[in-house]
Amino acid sequence: MYLKELCELNGISGNEKPVRDFIVEHLKQQVDEYKIDKIGNLIVRKQSSDGLAGDTETKRAPVVLLAAHMDEVGLLITEITGEGFLKFATVGGIDPQILISKTVLCGNNIPGVIGCKAIHLQKREERKQTLSINDLYIDIGAGSKEEAEKNVKIGDYVAFASEFAEFGSGLFKAKAFDDRAGCAIIMEIMADRYPCSLVGAFTVQEEVGLRGSKVVSNYVQADLAIIIEATAARDTTEKREEEWVVELGKGPACSLMDALTIYKPELIARISDLAREKGIPLQFRRGTAAANDAGNLHLAGSGIPSITLSIPCRNIHSMNSLISKQDYENCLALVRLILNKCHTLI
């Protein structure tokens, strides 16, 4: 399993190189070819088990595109104050409320702590207001701007300091499950051959507007696309079960519709039947907000029938997210099943 190593790498949107290098190092002997495009997407290809490279015109070997994004949310230094504190902007969607007192790694792994005005010093009106990014700063222990500039600079990325761990009863804890979980599954898939040709797209800058997949959609064509993601679970914060969206421990979640994609009902029905026949738990994402790389990939060329399978994740986009080990394994098993039965779906 590559999940631990991937989650502990820092690869904020626009700075995915450490993640990409890790994937290349571990896959270069397992795939038939790989390339890195000009925006930084990593594309790997593997022929079908019968040796055919795949031809979308003759259908001799179906082509299946597997996609997951390498980037994670994080911060970017925008100012160094005279006192040596760092001001920052968010890269991707982060709730400022989760950042207070958290440990981060700035630039070349310089440790820092995110701070704000102590509640003891806040006026009554200030206490009633929601904190914004402008209210926060990073303290790296510098006594002046000059001292801080010896270690960091404007434009440096700031990542969450977090270690992967097994947690509770069958859970994993880490940052960046969105979407290192998807990357890890594709890496495991690439160890074998299937009755279809595989194209693995490890995309960049998904968290800031699906930018990498837009580039991929310009040159990759396939008969089927499987986007593997993590999605927010609300099975702790909502009283009514119908508002939970997805639940941990109930298997991967299949999307029906999101902000950019309406998925083909007949394709979802076939995949649901396959999962049921093999006893693989599958739930449906009960929500339509947000989007993922499917928004671009299903529009590639003449169109690619697409599905999104997501691993439910509590505390998504934070330094300590939680997923179920069983959900991860069941998602991997379902993707393998789809690839082995792809001729019945295309």
Which residues are marked as active site? 206
Task: Round to whole Å and give the CA distance between 208 and 191.
Answer: 30
The two three-digit tokens of residue 265, written as one number? 């009902």
Enumerate residues 6+ apart whose C-beta is below 8 A from 203: 41, 67, 68, 69, 70, 71, 212, 213, 216, 293
Integer angstrom CA distances of residue 310 from 195, 210, 228, 280: 24, 16, 6, 14
b/e map of 265-300 (b: 16 or more CB within 10 Å)?
eebbebbeebbeeeebbbbebebeeebbbbbbbbbb
Which tokens sit at 199? 């194209």
In 175-282 the beta strands, taken as DSSP E runs, fall at: 197-203, 224-232, 253-254
Residue 121: strand, helix, or coil:
helix
**Lookup: tokens for 209:** 């507007």
Count Cβ atoms below 10 Å from residue 101 Cβ, excluding itself. 8
CB under 8 Å to 157, separation ≥6 — which residues? 10, 12, 14, 15, 74, 75, 76, 77, 91, 106, 107
